[in-house]
């Protein structure tokens, strides 16, 4: 009889050990699945953030480029009509407002100092151009070169920022 009880206890213990082992393995699997799911969500969130920042930055660059309306400067050799001058100034004001509106990219980059400085530099260069254009002055070559340089610096800083988001 003792042998039967010993055998029965052995079978039950073996079954319990097997069951415990299976449960432990299942828990490990669930924990790993949760970890993978969390990591995948974090990757997707960074992708979404990157897409949003890229969209805002593209809008900002477009607004800055469109603010440079030197090509439409009224001819100062002849006396430009008041309406022509006024519509030109309205165009500049509209384009400058678009630059300021697109400046929301500052919030998107947060506290990333190099990128913020590059964006700020491009805004300053754009403002210099628009102030000259508002007074119907042709921007100097230095102003145009500064604008171009600042735009390139801004693009480079934004590329670096987006690469860090990956």
* 92 pLDDT higher than 80: yes
Q: Quote the number of domains for the chain.
A: 1
Is 55 part of a structural domain of the chain? yes
**Mean pLDDT confidence for 120-134:** 88
Domain that holds residue 117: 45-165
Residues 96, 94: Cα–Cα separation, whole Å: 5
Is 2 part of a structural domain of the chain? no
Percent of the chain with pLDDT over 90: 9
Is 30 part of a structural domain of the chain? no
Is 17 part of a structural domain of the chain? no
Is 14 part of a structural domain of the chain? no
Is 159 part of a structural domain of the chain? yes
**Mean pLDDT confidence for 52-69:** 86
44-57 residue pLDDT tens: 888 888 888 888 88
Report the greatest alpha carbon distance in the chain.
122
Per-residue confidence (pLDDT) for residue 149, from 0 to 100: 92
> What tokens appear for 132 in the block?
């000259």
Residues 69, 129: Cα–Cα separation, whole Å: 9
**Mean pLDDT confidence for 21-35:** 89
Per-residue confidence (pLDDT) for residue 22, from 0 to 100: 86
Is 86 part of a structural domain of the chain? yes
| pLDDT band per the 50, 70, 90 thresholds, residue 80 | low
Per-residue confidence (pLDDT) for residue 35, from 0 to 100: 92
Is 15 part of a structural domain of the chain? no
Q: By CB neighbour count within 10 A (0-12 exposed, 13-18 middle, 19+ buried), where does 23 fall?
A: exposed
**Please, what is the Cα angle at 73 between 67 and 74, to 5 degrees?**
145
| pLDDT band per the 50, 70, 90 thresholds, residue 30 | very high
Residues 166, 161: Cα–Cα separation, whole Å: 9
> What tokens appear for 37 in the block?
């799911």
Which CATH number is 113's domain given?
1.20.120
**Please, what is the Cα angle at 12 between 17 and 10, to 5 degrees?**
90
Provide the whole-model pTM. Answer: 0.69
List, in order, residues 6 or more apart from 67 with CB less than 8 Å away: 92, 95, 96, 98, 99, 126, 129, 130
Q: What is the mean pLDDT of the chain?
A: 84
> What tokens appear for 110 in the block?
């947060």
**Mean pLDDT confidence for 81-92:** 82
């Amino acid at each position: 009889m003792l042998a039967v009880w010993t055998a029965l206890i052995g079978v039950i213990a073996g079954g319990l050990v097997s069951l415990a082992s299976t449960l432990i393995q299942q828990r490990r699997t669930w924990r790993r699945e949760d970890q993978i799911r969390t990591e995948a969500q974090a990757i997707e969130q960074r992708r979404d953030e990157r897409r949003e920042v890229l969209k805002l930055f593209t809008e900002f660059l477009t607004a800055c480029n469109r603010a440079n309306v030197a090509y439409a400067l009224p001819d100062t050799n002849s006396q430009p009509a008041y309406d022509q001058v006024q519509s030109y100034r309205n165009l500049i004001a509209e384009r400058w407002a678009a630059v300021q509106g697109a400046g929301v990219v500052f919030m998107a980059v947060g506290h990333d100092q190099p990128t913020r400085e590059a964006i700020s530099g491009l805004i300053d260069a754009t403002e210099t151009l628009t102030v000259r254009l508002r007074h119907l002055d042709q921007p100097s070559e230095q102003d145009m070169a500064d604008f171009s340089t600042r735009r390139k610096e801004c693009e480079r800083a934004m590329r670096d920022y987006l690469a860090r988001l990956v």
